[in-house]
Structure 1
Amino acid sequence: RYFPSKYNREIRALKSEVERLLMEIIQCRRDAVEIGRSSSYGNDLLGVLLEREKSSELNLQLIMDELKTFFFAGHDTTALLLTWTALLLAQNPTWQDKVRAEVNHAWGVGGGPTPSSVDQLSKLTTLNMVINESLRLYPPAALLPRTAFEDIQLDDLHIPKGLSIWIPVLAIHHSEEIWGEDANEFNPARFKTSNPSRRTFLPFASGPRNCLGQGFAMMEVKIILAILIARFKFAISENYRHAPVVVLTLKPKYGVRLRLSPVD
């Protein structure tokens, strides 16, 4: 971490650049209010955080940390969910057709969600099943770090206070003991009859420290997929190489190349 290697120098330079850009955005919002060009800091996440700073509930460092978290957790993981789901739909044309038929039934052929009809997203049960199965097979966060805040005794297992615990989400999601003999296969129907257990389905973690943005992420993904699948057919490029790799998140090592063709 502290050794002045090329990698560490690049990380520090990138960190400084990100913080500089965030500080520019923050200062621009502050200046707009101070000179009277705007009556508020805005109605987005940054605006809410700056209002909290104004009332001394947050300081600048906490605001910067929240923005960094939003950039990482709110962009990379959602993009990966879209990527893996599109791949699975391309690999499974029968399910792709089912999702397209459901979207067409909700908004008409070639249609898709509009601002006034987003509430219908909850009715897209087939799409929701497909997304859940994508999250099970390819959870963006393959590992979840946790720390014991107090001594814990689980039967014969003692977990001392301060111990770091890594929850193997990817392994849990592929366990045949939990999901059956087809645990490694794409089968959205497993989510048809019941909601998955919070202890065995952990794409957004679970408990009081689960992902705060899971509802927002799911809405984003449903809207984008519904619009795309209503207009295009997904097929895998012959150049695609399947190589999932964990680099903080579960990524396709060589990317995902798909062919999109207009729906007839």
Structure 2
Amino acid sequence: MENFKLIFLQLLAVLLSLILFKAIWVTISCYIITPFCIRRFMAKQGVYGPKPRFLVGNLKDIAKLVKISTSTDMPSISHDIVGRLMPHLLLWRKLYGKRFTYWYGSEPRLCLTETDMIKELLSSKFVQNTGKSWLQQEGTRHFIGRGLLMANGANWSHQRHIVAPAFMADKLKGHVGYMVECTKKMVRSLHDVIGSSTRTEVEIGSYLTMLTADIIARTEFDTSYETGRRIFHLLDKLQILTAQSSRYLWIPGSRFFPSKFRREIKSLKAEVERLLMAIIETKKEGAEFGRMSSYGKGLLGMLLAEMQKKKEGFSYDLEMIMDECKTFFFAGHDTSALLLTWTVMLLATNTEWQEKARAEVMEVCGNGVPTADHLPKLTVLQMIINESLRLYPPASLLPRMAFQDFKLGDLRIPKGLSIWIPVLAIHHDKSLWGNDANEFNPDRFSGRSFALTRNFLPFASGPRNCVGQAYALMEAKIILAMLLSSFSFTISENYRHAPVNVLTLKPKHGVQIYLKPLRA
């Protein structure tokens, strides 16, 4: 018996030693060997960058520069915001040229701004051997988990194939009625706030956030506004905590150490999943007991139907369905709300374009609400939306990790290098857009399809472009058309221009406008 205990203790000691050795090796590989090898590999090709510090890379440099640049509001409403949000990029581009490498903790990153190479990178040629890095996946594990946004390789192909039909033209046309009815409710709320006043100040961002939450909850998840609002509120808090966590060093195994920060994230995640599970169970029970003929026509219904199929290889389970729901709740709500909020700000400060858009809406829609047939005819409104997406793209960075060595243009990209495309900087580049790149000028999108403009990347490009692009644009057109036909608006003197990045590009203090009703 004593010998058995001794052998067991020896085996346990060996196992713990192996685990400790593996943790030490992974740490050394991540923070010493890989950085050194990739940095030397890129330097041989003439690509240099700031020297990374041990363990933290250039994290402290980035944090310090951004903290200084965003410590105060902008003195005026200027769209020249790259220096505010990406001061490190401007500094390093000046020191090292258009191509440079830097280190986000243990992750080596190549900043890529050359549009020919970007187009090649985002093409189908590299769709299977590039994707989201382990650092990004780890950072968003409790936020959107294994949803489409964070999937790679074959899993991404399967997930994209399954969710894409929910956003095809025939499905989208069926959502127009929901979008109009939800927007009517918001317009009535704004009329109630104004009352008998001829001009009232409102923070329009909060109204648009609630509206897009209502629309996505109804169209894709067939749930109540109150439940949807609760989920969005929790996801907003998770988004903030996820953004904060990305500023800190990640060490292998650190997620197993308890902390107040991690406990809060896990608590929020559990509450989101409890609410999602209640929606899922209601749909499952309705279909199984014959109260509904199917799981529904929206995205959630399609995912539940897919889960019932018994397949070999990739298949959805409840955890993945909840991750997919969180992904589309977040993407379908947050980015749409931001597109609308920034567009209203731009129209409130450029009233001549507001009048042009309103005249077009009245000509196309008359005194009625927008229909699916009206939307393609709203070309001025489309130009305005494009220019808003150019100046204030909700996703200001576009990442791709190399999963194997490959050739990109004249560069050899080593496995493990993460390529980051600074969408915001490209959208404001004067060499690409002209000397008025930092000015609001929707005319730049007239007479040509923005989808063919390779310098325009608000929805990414290629096979991994945003699957909900058509949904977002249709929703934006309907809401803006109904706002324009109901109110005129100007920017309030209380508006403080302070764009900030919290995973997405937000107005720090909201957008305060003066609303004036055009008709009851």
Q: Report the counterpart of residue 151 of structure 1 in structure 2.
A: 405
Alpha-carbon distance between aligned partners in 1 of 2:320 and 2:511, rounded to the nearest angstrom: 36
Please identify, of 174-183 and 160-169, the stretch whose mean Cα deviation from structure 2 is larger.
Answer: 160-169
Distance in 1 (alpha carbons) for counterparts of 2:362 and 2:409: 52
Residue aligning to 2:358: 100
Q: CA deviation at 1:262?
A: 1.0
Matched residue, 2:442: 188
Q: Which has the larger radius of gyration?
A: 2
Name the amino acid aligned to 2:503. Answer: L
Aligned match of 1:40: 294
**What is the Cα deviation at residue 240 of structure 1?**
0.4
Question: Does 1 or 2 have the higher relative contact order (CA < 8 Å, sep 6+)?
Answer: 2
Structure 2 equivalent of residue 241 of structure 1? 496
SS at structure 1 position matched to 2:374: helix
Question: For residues 152-171 of structure 1, what are the alpha-carbon distances to aligned partners after superposition, in whole Å with 9 as ceiling and x for unaligned?
Answer: 22344221123222211000
What are the Cα deviations for residues 11-51 of structure 1, in whole angstroms up to 9, with x where unaligned?
Answer: 11111111111111111111112222222111111111111
1:90 aligns with 2:344: no
Cα deviation digits, residues 158-204 of structure 1 (max 9, x gap): 21123222211000000001000000000000000222345310000
Q: Which has more helix, going by share of residues?
A: 2
Counterpart of 2:375, as a letter, is: L
Aligned to 1:134: 388
- Cα distance in structure 2, aligned partners of 1:108 and 1:77: 29
- Partner amino acid, structure 2, of 1:36: G
In structure 2, give the amino acid aligned to 1:120: H
Instruction: Report 1:37-76 matches (<5 A).
Output: 37-56=291-310, 57-76=315-334
Calculate percent identity across the aligned residue pairs: 64
Q: How many equivalent pairs are there?
A: 260
RMSD after superposition = 1.5
Q: CA deviation at 1:79?
A: 0.3
2:268 matched to 1:14? yes
Instruction: Name the CA distance, whole Å, in 2 between partners of 1:122 and 1:157.
Output: 41
Q: Deviation above 4 Å: which 4+ runs of structure 1?
A: none
Is the CA contact 1:198–1:206 (under 8 Å) kept in the aligned structure 2?
Answer: no
- Alpha carbons 1:142, 1:250 under 8 Å: kept: yes
Aligned twin of 1:263: 518
| 1:149 shift after superposition | 3.4
Taking the aligned partners of 1:46 and 1:228, their CA distance within structure 2 comes to 30
1:81-125 residue CA offsets vs partner (Å, 9 max, x unmatched): 00000000000000000000000001224x431xxx322111111
One-letter amino acid of the counterpart of residue 323, structure 2: D
In the alignment, the residues of structure 2 paired with residue 25 and residue 258 of structure 1 have an alpha-carbon distance, to the nearest angstrom, of: 36
Residue of structure 2 equivalent to 1:207:
462
Candidates 108, 123, 126, aligned match of 2:377: 123
| Of 82-91 and 62-71, the range deviating more from structure 2 | 62-71
Helix, strand or coil at the partner of 1:150: coil
TM-score normalised according to structure 2 size:
0.49
- Normalised to the residue count of structure 1, the TM-score between the two structures is 0.94
CA distance in 2, matches of 1:10, 1:199: 41
**C-alpha distance in structure 1 between counterparts of 2:491 and 2:268, whole Å:** 34
Moved more, 171-180 or 9-18: 9-18
Gaps of 5+ in 1: none
Contact 1:104 1:230 in 2 (8 A): yes
Aligned equivalent of 1:112, options 364, 369, 380: 369
Tell me which amino acid in the other structure corresponds to 1:91. Answer: T
**Partners of 2:408 and 2:298 in 1: CA distance:** 43
How big is each residue's C-alpha offset from its partner over 1:119-150, in whole Å with a ceiling of 9 and x where there is no partner? 21111110000000000000000111212233
* Separation in 2, partners of 1:150, 1:98: 50
Deviations 1:40-82 (A, max 9, x none): 1111111111110111342222211211110111000000000
Q: Is the 8 A contact 2:365 2:374 kept in 1?
A: no
Unaligned runs of 5+ in 2: 1-249
